[in-house]
Structure 1
Amino acid sequence: MTNHTHREIRLAARPEGPVTDDLFEIAEVPVPEPGPGQVLVRNTHMGVAAVTRTLMDEDTGIPLASFEIGAPLNGPAVGEVVAAPGTDLAPGDLVEHRLGWREYALLDADEAHRLEPGLMPDPAAYLSQGPTALMGVERGAEVRPGDTVFVTGAAGGVGSLAGQIARQFGAARVIGSTGSRAKADRLIGELGYDAVVIRGAGPVEDQLREAAPDGVDAVFDNVGGEQLTAALAVANKGARIALVGALASQLAADGTSAAKTEIDTISLLSRGITLRGVALYDHLDLIPQWNRRFAAGLRSGALSFPHARLRGIEQAPRALRELTEGRHLGAVVVEL
């Protein structure tokens, strides 16, 4: 092996607010040697998501372990097998795993999932948040033909795909929310949204009523807070509301200011509205389904993969900072 050392990104300190570069340390460490039953992978792409910021806190409030100070971060990654003694993987195989934030990853064979060669036109597409988007549309909000659908956080890695998928499931009108007019214009011009509510441009409920004068039938909620409250107010009888994310609290500077959403239970009862929390770890069967759907959609042009791509592992802290600041539309990927 020509490389004897590689770089990994470690958590240097717990954040006390927004993501800053001093929370990270880039360490140069020896490339590990795989033993029997282990796989050494040279990572080529890694994904950055809002949950990464959540896991930097000591108390996360979600069933995932916090990152440890002084240890490397982790997250979804795609790479090529370098060596895999005593396993059914071979050098050159493309695999997906959870040990991103480093240039080389050493893992047990059952933690590396072989990917079908040539399935995706771009290996980075394996790092889309499409499985979550498909889960929320199909199993959470149960989008049906003719529905008016509201997707909060529509410009993120999940929302930018959820709107496209809702249309595939027959939605007649798709409304999104985002934080800027520039993103709203792109959602309408590039991703097929019919209307967009802009956070900070007036009460969300008023904007949503204007965009959906006949109410909403299905809600894909990535955000919570005021946007979920507005969706509940405008929801039609029998509406299905999928709770998929909680960005309002995840990205709040103090982690709590926007966490609570008041619910008028009598109003929900009288309208027969379903609120359903869905998490991908309960729906892992959707991942291979999504990969096939996405590959076909990318090749035919029926689906697109909005994303920002930064190059070099040293750009990973910047990628997370810019993601949490709302700088990008779609997923954020680091090419190593």
Structure 2
Amino acid sequence: PEPGADGGGADPVGDGASRRKADPEPSPAPPAAATTAPLRPGARSDPEAAASAAAARALLVPVPAAEAAPDPGDAPGTVLPGVPEAARPRVRAPQSADPAPQGPPCPACGAPNPPRRTFCRSCASRLEDARPASAEGPFAGQRPRLDRGRRRWIVRALVVTGLALLLVGGVIGGPPAVRAVQDHFAKRVAVRPTGWSASHSGAGHGPELVFDSYSNTWWGTGYAGDSNGQHLQADFAQPVDLLAVLVTPGTSKRPGQAADQARPQEIDLVVTDSAGRTKTVHKTLDDGGVQRVEVRRRDAVSVRIVLRSAYGAGADRQVAVAEVEFFGRSRT
């Protein structure tokens, strides 16, 4: 349909009469300002457009707004730790050098030191033992001598001298010196004699009682006084390397019973070897107790104990010996 003369759009019903019946009352006249603006062909006036829009909105059914789908990028997930930043270097400002100390120079290197220092700040030499300063100093690159101590060198010299003397003595002494060292460190075992005798014996106190391993039995000379020259002898079936002899003077090991008779004071041990050579050892015994006599004789076949003086000798007392034991070098 062609547009009407009033400038309105096409009639949706088909003719303008029905539209005029629906709206019997004339619409108010537009304001003066609105009438001045020309309307484009087919466009409705503002009141009519507003009424048409309100009627259209009344026919609409409200629909709830759809929720927006969550963005996958917004969901929280695993987060990597941040890269640590290295500490920025601190730039130090240049410092002035320490002023050189003032004081007496070191006797070793010549470096000045404060007056209260004990050791040199440059070479660590002791400043108290300072020698008079000389005109010449140390050469370039020369280190000061350190005091190592002379005692160690003296001790080392003494040790070396002692070893040299021991070696020379062993060479000069020969086999006797070697045997003496062997006897000193040898294992000692008890040696029992196979025969015994005495120059004289008292009644009931024969020489066999000295070698019976009992200390309450004793041998008596049978003579009053110190019995000077009386002897007791023990014989061995085979030659033994004799090292020591233990003598128990008196009638017992107990001090109270040992003084019942006189006790030998000075004795001579005469050791005879298989070649017939003899060795005499003089010994002064204490008054009571077991006495040890070092002998150290190779291939000994007999030992004779000769009395020279006695403790507690009297007119009615005889010299008594309770026990005599022999010890030799073990051959194993």
More helix, by proportion: 1
Q: Same fold (TM over 0.5)?
A: no
Query: TM-score with structure 2 length normalisation?
Result: 0.19
Q: Which has the larger radius of gyration?
A: 2
Structure number with higher relative contact order (C-alpha < 8 Å, ≥ 6 residues apart): 1
Return the TM-score normalized by structure 1: 0.18
